[in-house]
Structure 1
Amino acid sequence: MNTKSVKLSDATIGYVDQGEGNPIVLLHGFCGSSRYWEKVIPELSKSYRVIALDLPGHGESSMGKDGYSIEDYADNIKGLLDQLHIQKVTMFGHSLGGYITLAFAEKYSGHLNGFSLVHSTAFPDSDEAKKGRMANVEKVNIEGIKVLIDGLVPKLFSPENVEQDYVNTAIEIGYSTSPRGAISALTAMKNRMDRNHVLKTTSLPVLLLAGEQDQIIPAEKTFSVSGDNIQQKIVKNAGHMSMYENHQDLILEIQEYLARI
């Protein structure tokens, strides 16, 4: 995938822009990159313009400041879309990317045709999870990014899939995350607000996707709100990383959702 870049006021954003048609945006999770979607983009780009970006401090994107909030990430995405002269998109956010998608939907709903949480949740961190975020910040500061990634990535996959080669790909992608990028994202996730009200009040079509064997965010945390405009779907044979573990079914769910909106 060929990566382009744009310079914003507080970051330089690397992104993939492939295909033609109605634009869709793919946001990766913590310590990921646009490469997370490399099995998904070729199929979706046959019918849509697919934009997959690297969050600040991840992949090929740099950071111009420390201490990003979830809202700051959403502003970065709006800045990228403005530079590309794109008015409306459908946004798919994986994990951390889902938290950002909800912030974008709250602030910039007029620029969305719809949105999807992929292995993500509208709930904030629990007190226990917040302590875990800060422990990971300390780990990065003391031991470095590789130690964090080696412990984190295998937990993202279903126990049945943890020996697959793609787990090593996700680890390699994780190693490319800058320590500043990881620390900023950990702090942003710890401090994020409850955004179930966004799901409850939006009139946009929403797709909530959960992994059948997700050990990080179980389905009940993803399926927090029901409504006529909200689809709830389980991806079989997948943990937290269906874009690797069962990309065929993930693509089908995305395509069926896009065809309805």
Structure 2
Amino acid sequence: MEIVRSEGTTIGYSDQGEGEVVVLLHGFCGSAQYWEKIAPLLNGSYRVIAPDLRGHGTSDAPKGAYTIEQMADDILALLDALEIPKVTLLGHSLGGYITLSFAERYGSRLKGFGLIHSTGYPDSEEAKEKRLKSVSTIQNEGITAFVDELVPGLFSPATHDISPQLLVRTKEIGYKTPPQGAVGAAMAMRERPDRRGVISAAELPVLLVAGTEDRLIPAERTFTSDKANITQATISGAGHMSVFEAPDRLSEIILEFLETSSGKE
């Protein structure tokens, strides 16, 4: 992993391959390692950059609440440091919320963007209460207990039976999340605004990916617009974690989208 600085905070990232740049943003209590099955399938044709978000992985985890805007600004700082003018930005779950903030404010830096198991909707009041419960669990019981509670719900029931090692791997990644980073990111998600309008107003190519077995963000909360510039893709049998459950299919979807958004067709 390499590093850059954003507002005094160190952001770690991996940088593989050559060509048009695609930036991959991981989900909550993940890291760039969430893309370990995806990046090798993309970096033969593209330059793939996968940062550890603020509060996660090898990046700094300042104390206190973060904002989605702040986390998007970290990505801007990364692109500026690497002198990359335009990228395609794809975000999984939390990464999708950050992608929408980036697209809303820095659209001129994008060739296209996408949400993978993510949504433009804000947290409901019930979800906001769950965020506070998550914070309480992390602070009182520790990150290991929280991740053990979180991860099973990310996967489809079939994955539990057929590929339990994927849950183990996701937990291993999650255990490395600094507790204060998980708290900061949870509060950022809790306070994020409704950004469905960013999707519906976009003129850039947009990719929306959902899993048929996603119990966190069902397809109808991902597919909030069906304009001509928007590609909708559903992965059969996948829960919230197609990055591990269906990497070959997800990579196919991403590659097809990148061909369009980079103007290679």
What are structure 1's unaligned runs of at least 5 residues?
Answer: none
Deviation per residue, 1:166-192 (Å, 9 max, x gap): 110100100000011100111011100
Q: Deviations over 1:46-95 (max 9, x none)?
A: 00000001011111111345321000000000001100001100011000
Matched, 1:196 2:196: yes
For the 8 Å contact 2:5–2:77, the answer to whether it is kept is no
Give the aligned residue type for 1:181.
G
1:195-232 C-alpha deviation (Å, 9 max, x unpaired): 01101111000000001110110000000111011111
Which stretch has the larger CA shift, 3-12 or 20-29?
Answer: 3-12
1:62 pairs with 2:52: no
Query: Identity of counterpart residues, as a percentage?
Result: 52
**Residue 5 (structure 2) pairs with residue 4 (structure 1):** no
Contact 2:97 2:120 (C-alpha < 8 Å) held by counterparts:
yes
Which residue of structure 1 aligns with residue 141 of structure 2? 143
Asked whether the equivalents of residues 153 and 171 of structure 1 are also in contact (C-alpha less than 8 Å), the reply is yes
List aligned pairs for 1:23-38, cutoff 5 A. 23-38=21-36
The amino acid of 2:194's aligned partner reads D
Task: String of CA shifts for 1:111-149, please: whole Å, max 9, x gaps.
Answer: 000001000000000000000000110111111111110
Q: Which residue of 1 is the match for residue 49 of structure 2? A: 51
Distance 2:63 2:110 in 1: 27
Aligned length: 259
Amino acid at match of 2:218: P
Q: Distance in 2 between matches of 1:36 and 1:162?
A: 18
Q: Which residue of 1 aligns with 2:224?
A: 224
Q: Which residue of 1 aligns with 2:112?
A: 114
How far apart in 2 are the matches of 1:154 and 1:173? Answer: 14
> Residue 37 of structure 2 contacts residue 244 of structure 2 at CA under 8 Å; is this kept in 1?
yes
* Moved beyond 6 Å, runs of 4+: none
1:32–1:170: 8 Å Cα contact kept in structure 2? Answer: yes
Amino acid at match of 1:209: V
Distance across 2 between alignment mates of 1:220 and 1:11: 36
Is residue 10–residue 63 contact of structure 1 (8 Å, CA) maintained in 2? no
Q: Secondary structure at the match of 2:137?
A: helix
Q: Does 1:84 align with 2:82?
A: yes
- 2:241 corresponds to: 241
Q: Which amino acid aligns with 1:174?
A: G
Correspondence for 1:208: 208
Q: TM-score, normalised by structure 2?
A: 0.96
* 2:126 equivalent in structure 1: 128
User: In structure 2, what residue type is equivalent to 1:230?
Assistant: I
Question: Given residue 132 of structure 1, which amino acid in structure 2 is its aligned partner?
Answer: K
Letter in 2 for 1:14: G
What is the CA–CA distance in structure 2 between the aligned matches of 1:116 and 1:162, rounded to whole Å?
Answer: 27
TM-score (norm 1): 0.97
Unaligned runs of 5+ in 2: none
Contact 1:10 1:65 in 2 (8 A): no
Q: Give the Cα–Cα distance (whole angstroms) in 1 for the partners of residues 182 and 122 of structure 2.
A: 18
- 56-65 vs 42-51, greater mean Cα deviation: 56-65
Mapped contact 2:72–2:102 kept (Cα < 8 A):
yes
Compared CA separation, residues 145 and 65, structure 1 to 2 (3 A): closer
The residue type paired with residue 194 of structure 1 is D
> Retained in 2: the 8 A contact 1:115–1:207?
yes
Match of 1:257, SS?
helix
